Amino acid sequence: MSFLDRFFKNNNQHEKPKPEKNDNIDKSVDNNIKEVKKALNENFDVITRKFSLGGKTDLYAAIAYLDGMVDKSVINLNIIRPLMLKGVDDEKFSAVGACRYAREFMITANDVREVDNFSECINYILNGSTIVFIDGSDRALMCETKGWKERSIDEPKNEAIAKGPHSGFTETMLTNVTLIRRYIKDPNLHFEPLTVGKSSRTNVIVAFIDGVSDNRIVEEVKKRLHMIDIDAIIDSSYIAEFISDAPLSPFATIQTTERPDKVVANLLEGKVAIIVDGTPVVLVAPFLFMEFIQSPDDYYENSVISSGVRVLRTLSLFIAIFLPGFYIAVVTFNQAMIPTTLALSIMSGRFFIPFSPFAEIILLMILIEILREAGIHFPGTIGQTISIVGALVVGQSAVSAGLVSPFVVIVVSATTLASYAVPSYTASYMMRFLPYPVLIISGLLGIFGFTWCIIALLIHLASLQSFGISYLTPLAPFDVRDNKDSIFRMPRWMMVYRPNYIKAENKKRLDKKMKGEDK
């Protein structure tokens, strides 16, 4: 049994089945209203109204909805008004039945469906719909009336770019789906809905392009989502933690983003997106290591410039993780590796420092982390100012007081700046965590410990997979075609085919080769 199978194993599988209760819709409007209020615990926001249907004194209808979840103008103009004021043709009414007559000849709402069981009525009410009951009918009508307040579309603050679209996802699922459809007007684009969470009943959508996406990945994503058994899903990060291949690894195997253009680009490569209602963060699977250094900016700039920036980001990634450990290793154990002039300069700066190099750098790194965390949670725009000014003040004061050497301040500053140069927000916490074990092992074993950390990290990366795909793809296993968009980005006319690791029917993204030959 795999790790995921053990993780998602249903502990309730040996429980005795509960007796099924009556789930039929009563033909009496009054009884249905009572059952709705009972099912929703007589809460104050449960609104019901009984009224005469078509002015008849012997025929009544009733509506039920949750206040704050609906657009009341739609209810008033498209449901209540026509049901009360439109006359009823008795002959047609008797011929087609109450629900069908109301749906086809009276209600003017744009999305109306018949419902034949009571529990489904409750689910629709909880999701912002309005239910219509009619005397004498054992069926009800669901009218789509969602209308809660929502945030306007704005630029994602964690993934700002210089060029390209500046719109970001919101907390409303329908808005997010629409943002994706604006880019992909393809009938093969699928949005498959499902519900996760026993109490929250959170709406989740699996998005993919039929013929472009790998069917095995699509089925694996849906399988893992169906295996989640939890009370509530508050954010997409809950789902990411459940379906991740390596939930205990510092390296994310599922991408998170608030950018529609980024999701669209991944869908067109054959990947799968997971949209969760109530959060602006969309999940994309699979996610590979090389995507840490990639940004939407790369595709809105010249390929030569983008390739150079990606090399710089790769260097920044290594600096953010390994620079403090390397400094400690050579200064503490392997001074012979340092040029004489530089070694004398470092030692002169440390002449009156009471702490060891290891204690210096740990102390300053912890202070920088405290300032960074404080900047995130500080109210308003003052947070960023506090982070920058605080870091400068603390660094200068620590050097002036003789607590740390100037070289340690330079090393920690370079490490912090390098972590911000990597565009992936998913990578930010990884780069804050990894320097510490590298630093500790290098402080204990010197350059041998530092080398061991690099080897161990590479082994760990090589062992990871994301939905059946090697995490280091396309570097290991090496693929010439896929490396046209990894560390270096080739011009678009050279990237004729989609990635090889996505096994799909439609492999071409260009029908004609505009320049050169794609090998």
407-416: pLDDT as tens digits: 888 888 889 8
pTM, 2 dp: 0.83
Answer whether 126's CB lies under 8 Å from 195's CB.
Answer: no
Same domain, 325 and 384: yes
The answer on pLDDT for 154 being more than 90 is no
Same domain, 311 and 390: yes
Question: Strand order of the sheet with strand 140-143?
Answer: 46-52, 60-66, 130-134, 140-143, 112-115
Mean pLDDT of the chain: 85
Structural domain includes residue 326: yes
Strands 46-52 and 60-66: antiparallel
In DSSP terms, which residues pair with 46 in a beta bridge?
66
Q: Please check whether residue 19 lies inside any domain of the structure.
A: no
Which of 260, 287, 314 is the endpoint of a domain?
Answer: 287
Per the DSSP assignment, residues forming a β-bridge with 466 are 469
Peptide bond into 286 cis (omega under 30): yes
Domain count, the chain: 3
Q: State pLDDT tens for residues 419-443.
A: 888 887 777 778 888 999 999 999 9
Residues 113 and 39 in one domain: yes
- Check whether residue 311 and residue 432 sit in a common domain: yes
Under the banding of pLDDT at 50, 70 and 90, the label for residue 5 is very low
Helix axes 303-332, 447-463, angle to 10 degrees: 140
Helix (H) or strand (E) holding 309: helix 303-332
Q: What is the pLDDT of residues 15-51, one digit of tens each?
A: 334 444 568 899 999 999 999 999 998 888 899 999 9
What domain range is 275 assigned to?
173-287
